[in-house]
Structure 1
Amino acid sequence: MKIFGIAGWSGSGKTTLMAELLPALVRRGLRVSTVKHAHHAFDVDKPGKDSYRHREAGATEVMISSAARWALMHEHRGDAEPDLAMLIRNMTPVDLLLVEGFKHEGHPKLEVYRPSVGKPPLHASDPMVVAVASDAELPDLAVPLLPLNDTEAIARFIVGYCGLDAR
């Protein structure tokens, strides 16, 4: 399973790019999954649902299953937040695992960089940034620069970089 990241500061457009990249990659016949890092508390469950009641009652893990999908919720219950490697071990192998966020982890990644966000570029200090997608010209860039609005070019780059064969 190839692992490739989309990294950048909050507000740079990572999620928008991911949502546009996924269909472009799937059209190439690739099986793609994603892992997204949330920087804040989030919940996929709702008060009043059976699964919520199970978690609130103390279950460490609750799995919900139907004919359409299944989901596993794991409560840390005081344990440290898992690193990316541990999360990946829980994923079903696919052709490509796209990782959104986790900008400090050691996997190859494309940086989504917008100077207007007002944050320093990651590519200046992260050797795992192998390309940058931006809405600005970035002279003297040591890695390929891709237009942020050209999803097909970004998809081609990822497929090529990861050595994946489009089916």
Structure 2
Amino acid sequence: MKNLYFLALLIGFNLSAQELPNLNLLNLEGKSVSLKNDFMEKDKIYVFSFWATWCGPCINELEEMNELQEEWKKEINIEIIAVSIDDSRTQKRVKPLVKGKEWNYNVLLDTNQDFKRAMSIVNPPYTIVVKNGKIVHIQNGYVPGNEKDLYEKIKTL
């Protein structure tokens, strides 16, 4: 039992100490964006929400966060980044969906799923919170109301 507790503690420590991977992804305009260089403003909170066009809960989560992000920005220096994990077959649906939903996010395309693999993500929706280049919180899955819990957690950072 003591070993199991130690293992859980060690895993939790490693997740919280994990750094944002050094990867480049494309945005919707086809411009290369560096995770390490473009999301490193000191003390700014970055919320990376991994989603796909075929994932209903992902879209629901991003819809809720889109409605709340301006309110959040009044209290916290925060940026939400929607990371599409659509593959080459479904990637063509991303831009029309984002425009149709009128999301005001930075949207990145993880077409080769390098970022997804680096984070060991199995299924979306999956959200990571980054501060000063370090992953400080992970949320797996979505149910209505999760965005409020996420915001409360972010406020403590």
TM normalised by structure 1 equals 0.32
Higher share in helix? 2
TM normalised by structure 2 equals 0.34
User: Larger Rg: 1 or 2?
Assistant: 1
